[in-house]
């Protein structure tokens, strides 16, 4: 790979800075040992940006993100910013980045490492070997639909309004991502999830996904499922799922359910992808751990860096088509966990509790072994 790919690092707040430090060490390792190097910039986002610039993300940082080949994002937020006006809160920085980059497909893998089976609240036989990919439409639906707001009624009471709305192009583009990804996985099976029994937007979703399948992806197995049933089935029989494609609201809920099948949010990465550039074939993309900024443990060396490191692995896989390098990171993580090392969030009886830095160092040592 050429060394001029641009990578923007946005550590953010709380433990975001600590886990991003471990990614920097792994990035350096890949540059030295695998000739996978990047031109790296680092900047502020979230509360850190607000303290420095009075806004959760500056126009300059947005411009850097637009010009980067990929963005690695840590986490934002903290109690000291909870009383700010809505537009100034740290989380608005992430939402603006997603909007400006037009990142419409959110990929949330839920993978249970063999060594972590006992960490799940479900029985081992239910989650062992689990590997699910949830693809959530990220820029439409009820979170962005109009009209929205809170209004006062003539009788003095109030009414809250949100609108669930989707169009054919919005459904088609995220559906295409799901089918293409499913075609590269072992099972090649897609569940499309909505509420077509009670929502017209769900009827449209089902019809458009089916039409896309019938026209372009007949070799991929497709099933439709109502969202409430999908939530139940995720905890009842999760192995029936391979790729789940769904809208913004249901994706938000189902991905968190799937996350807890694995035992900890600290283990889970995510990717948010945009459309392919017609010239370069590259997608704008932002990669981030699922966990938040965890201000209660920030600065104490207790954070789990694995989700951030696996987000970097997803970046290598989906933005730079380097599956072997992504596999190397995932294998290193699996081996370290099998060796008994745990951070606080996934600590188990009989295991060795280690700090953020020690976990990162152990993964680098494992990378050394695997690449020897």
The one catalytic residue in 228, 276, 327, 331 is 228
Question: Given 88, 102, 187, 256, which residue is catalytic?
Answer: 256
User: Treating both helix axes as pointing N-terminal to C-terminal, what angle do 323-338 and 306-318 enclose, rounded to 10 degrees?
Assistant: 160
Task: Considering the candidates 252, 276, 327, 331, report the single residue annotated as catalytic.
Answer: 252
Question: Is 50 labeled as catalytic in the residue annotation?
Answer: no
Tell me which of 195, 318, 325, 345 is the catalytic residue.
195
Q: Is 369 a catalytic residue?
A: no
Contact 26, 336 (CB under 8 A): no
Contacts of 40 (CB under 8 A, 6+ apart): 7, 8, 9, 27
Residue 228 catalytic?
yes
Q: Which of 5, 64, 88, 143 is catalytic?
A: 143
Q: Which residues are paired to 161 by β-bridges?
A: 149
195 labelled catalytic: yes
Q: Are 25 and 360 in contact (CB under 8 A)?
A: yes
Neighbouring-strand partners of residue 289: 269
Q: Please answer whether residues 57 and 96 qualify as being in contact, where contact means their C-beta atoms are separated by less than 8 angstroms.
A: yes
Catalytic (active site) residue 296: no
- The CA dihedral of 19, 255, 85, 150, to the nearest 10 degrees, is 180
3-state DSSP assignment of residue 188: coil
Here the tokens at position 15 are: 């433990």
Residue 247 has phi, psi (to 5 degrees) of -80, -175
- As given in the structure block, the two tokens for residue 201 are 């937007």
Considering only CA atoms, which of 125, 134, 138, 118 is closest in space to residue 231? Answer: 134
Query: Are the beta carbons of 353 and 347 closer than 8 angstroms?
Result: yes
Residues assigned a catalytic role: 143, 195, 228, 252, 256
């Amino acid at each position: 790979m050429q060394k001029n790919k641009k990578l923007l690092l946005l550590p953010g707040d709380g433990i975001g800075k600590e886990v991003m430090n471990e990614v920097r060490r792994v990035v350096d390792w890949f540059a030295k040992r695998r000739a996978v190097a990047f031109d790296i910039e680092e900047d502020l986002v979230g509360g850190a940006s607000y303290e420095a610039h009075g806004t959760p993300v500056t126009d300059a940082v947005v411009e850097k993100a637009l010009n980067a080949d990929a963005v690695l994002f840590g986490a934002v937020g903290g109690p000291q910013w909870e009383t700010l006006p809505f537009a100034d809160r740290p989380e608005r920085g992430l939402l603006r980045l997603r909007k400006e980059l037009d990142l419409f497909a959110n990929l949330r893998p839920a993978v249970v490492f063999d060594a972590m089976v006992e960490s799940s609240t479900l029985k081992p036989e239910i989650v062992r070997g689990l590997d699910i990919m949830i693809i959530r439409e990220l820029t439409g639906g009820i979170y962005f639909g109009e009209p929205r707001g809170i209004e006062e009624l003539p009788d003095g009471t109030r009414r809250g309004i949100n609108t669930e709305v989707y169009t054919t192009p919005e459904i088609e583009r995220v559906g295409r991502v799901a089918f293409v990804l499913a075609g590269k996985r072992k099972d090649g099976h897609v569940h499309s999830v909505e509420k077509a029994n009670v929502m017209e937007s769900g009827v449209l979703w089902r019809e458009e996904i089916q039409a896309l399948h019938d026209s372009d992806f007949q070799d991929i197995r497709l099933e439709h499922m109502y969202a409430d049933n999908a939530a139940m089935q995720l905890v009842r029989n999760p192995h029936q799922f391979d790729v789940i494609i769904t809208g913004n609201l249901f994706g938000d809920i189902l991905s968190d359910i799937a996350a807890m099948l694995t035992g900890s949010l600290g283990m889970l990465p995510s990717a948010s992808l945009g459309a392919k550039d017609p010239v370069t074939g590259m997608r704008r993309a932002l990669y981030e751990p699922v966990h938040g900024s965890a201000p209660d443990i920030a600065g104490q060396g207790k954070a789990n860096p694995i989700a951030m490191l696996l987000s970097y692995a997803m970046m290598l896989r989906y933005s730079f088509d380097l599956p072997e390098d992504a596999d190397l990171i995932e294998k290193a993580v699996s081996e370290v966990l099998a060796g008994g090392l745990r951070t606080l969030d996934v600590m188990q009886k009989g295991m060795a509790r280690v700090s953020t830095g020690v976990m990162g160092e152990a993964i680098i040592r494992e990378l050394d072994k695997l690449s020897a």
